[in-house]
Amino acid sequence: MFSPEGPSLRELAVQALSSVERGYDLLAPKFDHTPFRTPDSVLDAVAAALRRTGPYGDGLDLCCGTGAGLPVLDAVCRGRATGVDFSTGMLDVARRAAPHASLVRADARRLPFRPGAFDLVVSFGAFGHFLPAELPGLFTQVHSVLRPGGTFAFPVLAPPRPTSPLYWALLGFDACMRVRNAVRRPPFVMYYRAFRLGEVGRELRRAGFVVERRPLAEFGERADGSPRACLVTARRARVSLPPAA
């Protein structure tokens, strides 16, 4: 599961007992050697899908971490690539990996960019760090920094079935995190099963987006014919629309 260059169990335990920010500062030097990094296959599939709808102007990688997603912006954007994350350690690694990008330390729930600064916002594997109640504010922030007609895009993998060992592994992980957060402060928010696509779609529409789901054909279909992975694209309307009820 982890390469020899990855973190030890002790290092992971120390991270999990820290705050989210401090934990990722500690993990940053070894993060790219863990399964938490978004796989290149997913990044490549997203870039290919966005090329078909681009090109775009300026792009933002929301919660960019060590910068794995910044090459996606390079591939589909004609303008500048920007990454934002609140972990100094993760940004230090990203700065070495993508010296051309503009990297900003900030909380995604309070983005420091002017309104309409970007044509494209992408995010990879970050939404487990936000509680469901925080998503409306997060999506409103993204909507505000997109230009009219701009796109917010992120990949979503199909949830594992209850018959899958992965289903029970993720359920157990989330349960452990809830116990940890009940007995220790500050909390470490990381829940794999809290990001439910139906609820997410409703919140995106309430924030003023027009939402589509596009299968990522590179990952094939499940036995019932549903896609194993899809790209959610949320477009800011070119004219202001009233918020969804």
Domain boundaries, the chain: 9-236
Instruction: Supply the DSSP string of the chain, one letter for each residue.
Output: ---TTS--HHHHHHHHTS-HHHHHHHHGGGGGGSTTSPPHHHHHHHHHHHHTT--BSSEEEET-TTTTTHHHHHHHBSS-EEEEES-HHHHHHHHHH-TTSEEEE--GGG--SPTT-EEEEEE-S-GGGS-GGGHHHHHHHHHHHEEEEEEEEEEEEPPPPTTSHHHHHHHHHHHHHHHHHHHSSS-----SSS--HHHHHHHHHHTTEEEEEEE-GGG-B-TTS-BSEEEEEEEEPSS--PPP-
pTM for this one?
Answer: 0.89
Query: Residue 73: what pLDDT?
Result: 97
* Per-residue pLDDT in tens (0 to 9) along the chain, 245 residues: 456 776 777 777 777 777 788 888 888 888 888 888 899 999 999 999 999 998 999 999 999 999 999 999 999 999 999 999 999 999 999 999 899 999 999 999 999 999 999 999 999 988 988 888 999 999 999 999 999 999 999 999 888 888 888 888 888 878 887 888 788 888 877 777 767 888 899 999 999 999 999 999 999 998 889 999 999 999 998 765 555 55
Residue 105 to residue 29: CA distance in whole angstroms = 17
Give the CATH number of domain 9-236.
3.40.50.150
Query: Residue 56: what pLDDT?
Result: 96
142-170 core/surface letters (b: 16 or more CB in 10 A; e: else): bbbbbbeebbbbbbbeeebeeeeeeeeeb
The tokens describing 198, both together, are 């139906």
Say if strands 59-62 and 118-123 run parallel, antiparallel, or are unpaired: parallel
